[in-house]
Amino acid sequence: MRSRRNFIKQSIFGAAALGVAPSLVQASTKRVVTKPIVISTWDFGVAANQAAWKVLSKNGKAIDAVEQGVRVAESDLDNPTVGKGGYPDRDGHVTLDACIMDDQGNCGSVAALEHIAHPISVARLVMEKTPHVMLVGEGALQFALEQGFEQENLLIPSSEKAWKEWLKEKKYKPIMNIENKSFQTERLPGNQYNHDTIGMLALDADGNLSGACTTSGMAFKMRGRVGDSPIIGAGLYVDNEVGGATSTGVGEEVIRTVGSFLVVELMRQGYSPEAACKEAVERIIKKKPAIAKEIQVGFLALNKKGEYGSYALQSGFTYAVCTKEKQDLLIKGKHIY
Ligand code: ASP
């Protein structure tokens, strides 16, 4: 019969061989959990985090925090990449994509939704009130109207003007590094934002995780084009045992690599949030090296301990972090190129 000491020894070595941190070591290590905490993509994440913080600081639930948080970006008419005021598709229709996921593995999503200013709240109701995960186009609109959402024109004059400008040349190419407002050198003249998404992850006072992701997608996209943002596993993934991840940038490459799911699974294997995001970005490079040099994709991740990190293909990606200590932190993400 194996002695108790031998059994423990074998368990530790067995765990190490699997790349899993031995539980004995974990038990004796002091685990400091930062919570509540909310993080989100890009400069506009700062304002969004503050709305989420109002919920989290009162011991509210992460799922409510992320919904309230990203609604701020959806309402911001100066933001041409999320919600009302988002740039339209090539035919002039503003079509919105969003998804949400809670700590129980419940999720809801809408894609190519028109005329509704807060797709994230529609996605939440898809999660809570239907047996489905995803509603698209006409059906998503019908559902939203049935739930009492108001139908409105989402194409505001400044976005219409930008679209008409774009129509002159109809150049359809994802332009990299025009997302960030802080770093002027990396910004194109004018307000020519091509793509940007708010992805938000929160860990609440009870230690539960949720996430939300919402966008108007790639500017002047083909009619019917849907990116990664409303796709669970691509634009967002949350596993309450491990952590959550979200993405921004050219969604096609994120879908191809099931990016956010990949980041969470890597964290499950012991990767830090930053290392997991880096590996996911490198996966994109490995699959499409030529394309990867030309585009932007950024991942953002938060684990169960409240540790966070990001990695992007190109410079220019920023993310916002909000904790009890500081509510308006903006961090320049690490990048490959
Ligand atoms: N990921 C979004 C999409 O592909 C856009 C973005 O984040 O820039 O639709």
Asked if residue 316 lies in contact with residue 44, where contact means CB atoms within 8 angstroms, the answer is: no
**Ligand 1 pocket residue status of 197, Cβ below 6 Å:** yes
Active-site annotation holds for 197? yes
- Residue 144 CA to ligand 1 center (angstroms) comes to 23
The DSSP annotation for 101-169 comes to E-TTS-EEEEEEE-S-S-HHHHHHHHHHHSS-SEEEHHHHHHHHHHTTPPP-----HHHHHHHHHHHHH
Better-predicted residue by pLDDT, 51 or 9: 51
Which of 99, 182, 88 has its CA nearest to residue 134?
Answer: 99
Quote the pLDDT of residue 174.
Answer: 59
* pLDDT tops 70 at residue 13: no
Ligand 1 pocket check for 316: Cβ under 6 Å: no
Task: Tokens 């004995």: give the residue.
Answer: 24
pLDDT of residue 170: 84
By C-alpha distance, which of 121, 127, 132 is closest to 106? 127
Q: How far is the CA of 195 from the centre of ligand 1 (A)?
A: 5
Rounded to the nearest whole angstrom, what is the distance from the C-alpha of residue 198 to the centroid of ligand 1? 9
Order of all β-strands in the sheet with 308-312:
236-239, 243-249, 297-303, 308-312
Model confidence at 63, in pLDDT bands (50, 70, 90)? very high
CA 267–ligand 1 middle distance (angstroms): 23
Could you tell me if the CB of 227 is within 6 A of ligand 1? yes
CB of 219 closer than 8 Å to CB of 96 = no
Site to substitute for ligand 1 among 99, 197, 226, 236, most atoms within 8 A of C-beta: 197
**What is the C-alpha to C-alpha distance for residues 222 and 130, in angstroms, rounded to an integer?**
29
Report whether residue 208 contacts ligand 1, using a CB cutoff of 6 Å. Answer: no
Task: Tell me if 159 CB under 6 Å of ligand 1.
Answer: no
For position 169, what pLDDT does the model report?
Answer: 86
The alpha carbon of 43 is separated from its chain's Cα centroid by a whole number of angstroms, namely 14
Q: Is 215 in the pocket of ligand 1 (CB under 6 A)?
A: yes
Q: What's the mean pLDDT when you consider all of the chain?
A: 87
**Farthest CA pair distance, the chain:** 81
Distance separating alpha carbons of residues 81 and 67, to the nearest angstrom: 17
**Ligand 1 pocket mutation pick from 99, 218, 225, 295 by most atoms within 8 angstroms of CB:** 218
- For residue 10, what pLDDT band results from cuts at 50, 70 and 90? very low
Active site residue: 81, 197, 257, 318, which one?
197
How remote is the CA of residue 233 from the centroid of ligand 1, in Å?
A: 14
Looking at residue 258, what DSSP letter applies? T
Taken in order 153, 157, 158, 163, the sign of the CA dihedral is: positive
Instruction: Tell me the C-alpha distance between 4 and 10, whole Å.
Output: 10
Q: Two tokens at 119?
A: 């797709």
Look up the CATH number of domain 23-332: 3.60.20.30
> Coil, strand or helix: which one is 330?
strand
Name the pTM for this structure.
0.87
Backbone angles phi, psi at 328, to 5 degrees: -130, 35
- Which one-letter DSSP state was computed for residue 334? P
